[in-house]
Amino acid sequence: MTGKSKTSVASILPGAVTLVLATVYLIVLLRVENQATILALLGVGIAAVVMANWLGWFASVGQSFGEREGPLGLLAVGLAVVVAGYFHGDHFVLLLLCTVLLYTLATLGLNLQFGFAGVLNFAGASFFGIGAYTAAVLNEHTSIPHLFVLLIGGGMAALIGSLLLLPVLRTRGHYAAVVTIAFALLFKTFLEVNDLLGGPQGLQVKSMVLFGWSFNNNIEIGSLELSFYFAYFIASVLLLVGAFILVRRLERSWIGLNLDALRLDETAAQCFGLNIVRWKVTAFLLGNFLIGVAGTLQGFVTGFVQPNSYTFADSLIFVSILLLGGIGNPWGVAVATIIVVIVPEKLQVIQEYRFLLFSSLVIMVLLFRPDGLLPRSVRNYFPGWRP
Amino acid sequence: MKKLDILAAVAVGLLALSASHGPTTAKDKVKVGFIGSLTGGTSANGLGGRNSADLAVRLRNADSKAKYEYEMVALDDECKPNIGVQVATKLAADREIIAAATHYCSAVAIATVDTYHKFRLPVVVWGAVLPDITYRNKYPEVHRVNGTMINQNELNASLLTKLGYKRFAVIHDTTDYGKGHFKYFGEALSKAGGTILGSFGVTSDQQDFTAELTQIKSLNPEVIYFGGLTPIGVRIRAQMDRLGLNNIVLDGTSGIKSDAYIQGLGKLAEGSLSFLEGAPAERLPGGKFFLEKYNAQNYPNPPEAYGAFAFAAMNLILDAIEAHGPDRKKVQEALNKTSKANSIVGEITFDDHGQNTVPIITAYVVQDGQWVVWEDSEYAQGKRKLPGQK
């Protein structure tokens, strides 16, 4: 017994240390405002990652995550709360963290479609927008409890997404991509000419209210004042944890196996008796549901929905998060979202040159890690089992 | 391990760099904000505005009578509403920032007014022209130094009908900016006695306008009214040339009044019209002063059309802080009461919505590769004629 617990402690250590170091780094990065410090810090971060790669530390980290994912996941959630707790009064940082969590959630949905089933979706931001608009409309005209609004938002995204089912099922590869791109353009134009939905000026979204408590008020516990974004942060964390577990379980189950088979070789999968249509539909709708839920909460968080926030370019951001993180790996998605959302924001200090620097950074990453930062590993059904 | 040593040396060097700070001064430091589109298609205007606001701050800091030392925090909204709300929250949540000059893009400005209201940050809009920004709500925090598209279009319609043009086709982008312009131009034109033969909404990132222009060709208008920004303005004018529509006037809005429009088109820009609030910097009371100072700073980009407004907006903010101290509430009240304030864009008086009520509008035409004030141009004097002018 003691021997087993010893090895489990040893195997959890590299992952835990990495998580803690990353958290400390994130807090420092979010804290500093000085131009030179930020650039130096980013340089140090890149150097540290390159160095760790060089010294082969990532293999043990990967192994640690592979074997002890549960406890490490819990630790990650705890550390996210620590980061938010550290910035408890800072509205802006919490808004940024909410954005990171919700983008991660949405990209998990995309991961399901893209990474598992191989169904291309270049309209991620549109389904995100459907959720946000659902929040705006339901909040304005009905008194449906907001917890249900989240689910309805996801449901609407899945429902409207089902309009695309027929063309997506009848096309493959690049052609399916074009169908979704067309939908993204159509969606934005539809919103712009639709005056009922506010036209190009968009709609205001009122505060989220759960159990009679309005999310848009600052929270006061004794003398401690928390930003009102803290409540949204907690809600985002809960949603993300739920989605993460769902995606992980799906991947582990025979559904995930079917989806993988579908992606790798449709014909072969069909020969083995898999119902292609059924699994494509499952992945597409479920993915859109997750994206829609994320969008709904995002609508509440920003308090404003507008067609310009859900353009094709925004869909590409989701896709680039997925590619940067490593297709199929939910952990990679989380890391990539932090990079894609927080780094351009911190680069505000260099103003007009920031996207130049940020884009070169992304290209460099993909140059040296063409499979993304954390490529998906082979399924591991038995923790600790090594072939 | 040799590699590690090198890395450590580099890290130490970087840290040392970051530790060096500028000299400190005796005056209290006060922070003010600026938001504009510093990247993307409208970055020319955003950068011009940023530089102009920066100029206002630098001049104030150089003034020995100023009570405070100012520091401007400039942020990029990318002309996207979601990013705009994000950076607006960043500015507004920072209690050290007393007030801000914000936004060139209407779509962003309309999305962020709620944020400023929520966090009680007084702002002065320096470039966005959508009327709703000040008029949809009555937020005491929101002010605007430039006029709105209503004023622009009244002058536009009356000038063109006076020149004898009656038949118009409209291309507008489907953002607030384009749709708003189309709406107010339509109202102004029907009063002035012209007719709109057809209107075409296009997305603001559309590349090809052959379909719209071919249809317009068959409608045979005398004028194409274009409500949109420079990037698609350039494409439309260039594609008009390809389709042989050079006997039609391109009647633009404030969105194409940028040097980038002329640079993008070269000779084809000749005869394009644009309407802009205020008067050109050279003609304004303080315009010569502004341009002199601007050029003295050697900014890499020109101030563009709204630079003078950004300068005036920032100056209003600095004046209020000088008079009432670095306190958001007091600065906001001072801004609300602004009446007949002298500025380089003329006198500024805010109405109860914070909107400047003295809208000077000036018409411009491209002549020999420059935007020339209509009244000064050879077109107005009759030496040259616009396409199809009688």
* Chain-chain contact of A192 with B119 (C-beta, under 8 angstroms): no
d(CA B332, CA B142): 9
Decide: B82 and B40 in contact? Cβ < 8 Å: no
* Chain-chain contact of A200 with B201 (C-beta, under 8 angstroms): no
Length of chain A: 387
pLDDT of the residue at A212: 65
- Taking phi first (over 0 means left), then psi (-120 to 50 degrees means alpha), and beta for anything else, what does residue B39 get? beta
Helical axes A124-141 vs A312-325, angle rounded to 10°: 120
Given pLDDT bands bounded at 50, 70 and 90, which one contains residue A45? confident
Q: Hey, is A330 helix, strand or coil? A: helix
Mutate to test the interface with B, among A205, A215, A302 (most CBs of B within 10 A): A302
A111-139 tens-digit pLDDT:
999 889 988 899 999 999 999 999 999 98
* Closest CA of chain A from B117, distance in Å: 12
pLDDT of the residue at A204: 82
* Chain-chain contact of A304 with B81 (C-beta, under 8 angstroms): yes
Decide: A206 and A140 in contact? Cβ < 8 Å: yes
* Chain-chain contact of B81 with A201 (C-beta, under 8 angstroms): no
B66-80 tens-digit pLDDT:
889 999 999 998 888
Q: State mean pLDDT over B317-341.
A: 90
Q: Which of A317-326, A346-355, B75-84, B317-326 has the lowest mean pLDDT?
A: A346-355
Find, in chain B, the residue whose alpha carbon is nearest to that of A32.
Answer: B18
Most confidently predicted of A178-182, A355-359, B126-130, B278-282: A178-182
Given pLDDT bands bounded at 50, 70 and 90, which one contains residue B180? confident
* Closest CA of chain A from B379, distance in Å: 36
- Select the residue of B50, B89, B176 nearest A200 (Cβ to Cβ): B176
d(CA A86, CA A64): 27
* Chain-chain contact of B119 with A92 (C-beta, under 8 angstroms): no
Given pLDDT bands bounded at 50, 70 and 90, which one contains residue A158? very high
d(CA B8, CA B78): 37
Given pLDDT bands bounded at 50, 70 and 90, which one contains residue B102? very high
- Select the residue of B20, B111, B115 nearest A306 (Cβ to Cβ): B111
Mutate to test the interface with B, among A317, A352, A353, A359 (most CBs of B within 10 A): A352
* Closest CA of chain A from B75, distance in Å: 6
List the structure tokens of B118.
């929520």
Given pLDDT bands bounded at 50, 70 and 90, which one contains residue B3? low
Give B259's Cβ-side CA count (13 Å radius).
Answer: 12
- Select the residue of A199, A216, A314 nearest B179 (Cβ to Cβ): A199
Name which of B254, B271, B113 is nearest B177 in CA terms.
B254
Chain A, 327 to 386: residues with Cβ < 8 Å from chain B are: 345, 348, 351-352, 354-355
Given pLDDT bands bounded at 50, 70 and 90, which one contains residue B189? very high
Give, as one character, the DSSP assignment of residue B22. Answer: P
Q: Is the pLDDT of residue A363 over 80?
A: yes
- Select the residue of B15, B74, B80 nearest A351 (Cβ to Cβ): B74
Range B28-147+281-359 classified under CATH 3.40.50.720: no
- Select the residue of A216, A306, A348 nearest B81 (Cβ to Cβ): A306
Give B9's Cβ-side CA count (13 Å radius).
Answer: 6
Pinpoint the alpha helices (H) of chain B: 2-19, 43-62, 81-93, 106-119, 132-135, 149-162, 176-192, 210-219, 230-242, 259-265, 287-296, 307-324, 328-336
Torsion of the alpha carbons at B239, B243, B247 and B248, rounded to the nearest 10? -50
Q: Which of A61-65, A103-107, A159-163 has the lowest mean pLDDT?
A: A61-65
Find, in chain A, the residue whose alpha carbon is nearest to that of B7.
Answer: A47
Q: Is the pLDDT of residue B200 over 90?
A: yes
- What is the number of other CB atoms lying within 10 angstroms of the CB of residue A144? 12
Q: Which of A162-166, A195-199, B109-113 has the lowest mean pLDDT?
A: A195-199
Torsion of the alpha carbons at A172, A175, A179 and A184, rounded to the nearest 10? 110
- Select the residue of A201, A216, A354 nearest B176 (Cβ to Cβ): A201
pLDDT of the residue at A347: 81
Q: Which of A239-243, A367-371, B85-89 has the lowest mean pLDDT?
A: A367-371
Pinpoint the alpha helices (H) of chain A: 2-31, 35-54, 57-67, 69-86, 91-110, 124-141, 146-161, 165-170, 173-193, 229-252, 254-264, 266-271, 276-302, 312-325, 330-346, 354-368
Find where tokens 């400005």 sit: B109
Q: Is the pLDDT of residue B238 over 90?
A: yes
pLDDT of the residue at B1: 44
Given pLDDT bands bounded at 50, 70 and 90, which one contains residue A237? very high
Does the pTM surpass 0.90? The reply is no
Q: Is the pLDDT of residue B100 over 90?
A: yes
Length of chain B: 390
* Contacts with A227 from chain B: Cβ below 8 Å: 93
Question: Predicted ipTM?
Answer: 0.70
What share of chain B has pLDDT > 70, as a percent?
93
Give, as one character, the DSSP assignment of residue B384. Answer: S
Amino acid type, A62:
G
A317 touches chain B (CB under 8 A): no
d(CA A156, CA A299): 14
**With b meaning 16 or more CB within 10 Å and e meaning fewer, what string describes B80-106?**
bbbbbbbbbbbbbbbeebbbbbbbbbb
A309-348 tens-digit pLDDT:
898 888 988 998 998 888 888 888 998 898 888 888 888 7
Q: What are the distances in angstroms from CA A192 to CA A12, A253, B41, B61, B249? A: 51, 42, 20, 44, 28
pLDDT of the residue at B114: 87
What share of chain A has pLDDT > 90, as a percent?
28
Q: Is the pLDDT of residue B15 over 50?
A: yes
B363-384 tens-digit pLDDT:
999 999 989 999 889 998 888 8
Is-same-fold flag (B28-147+281-359; B150-276+363-376)?
yes
Q: Hey, is B45 helix, strand or coil? A: helix
pLDDT of the residue at A384: 57
* Contacts with A311 from chain B: Cβ below 8 Å: 205
Phi, psi of A270 (to 5 degrees): -65, -40
* Contacts with B115 from chain A: Cβ below 8 Å: 303
Question: Domain limits of chain B?
Answer: 28-147+281-359, 150-276+363-376
* Contacts with B93 from chain A: Cβ below 8 Å: 90-92, 227
Q: Is the pLDDT of residue A3 over 60?
A: no
DSSP-derived pairing of the beta strands B28-36 and A213-214: unpaired
Phi, psi of A96 (to 5 degrees): -60, -45
List the structure tokens of B77.
């909204």
Residue scoring higher pLDDT (B195 or B17): B195
Name which of A97, A95, A161 is nearest A126 in CA terms.
A161
* Chain-chain contact of B39 with A354 (C-beta, under 8 angstroms): yes
Mutate to test the interface with A, among B4, B90, B91, B97 (most CBs of A within 10 A): B90
Rg value, chain B, Cα: 23
CATH class of B150-276+363-376: alpha beta
Q: Which of A218-227, B3-12, B115-124 has the lowest mean pLDDT?
A: B3-12
B125-176 tens-digit pLDDT:
998 888 888 888 889 999 998 888 888 898 999 999 999 999 999 999 888 7
d(CA A39, CA A349): 9
* Contacts with B90 from chain A: Cβ below 8 Å: 92, 345
Amino acid type, B170:
V
How many CB pairs below 8 A link A and B? 109
pLDDT of the residue at A1: 41
Q: Is the pLDDT of residue B23 over 50?
A: no
pLDDT of the residue at A57: 80
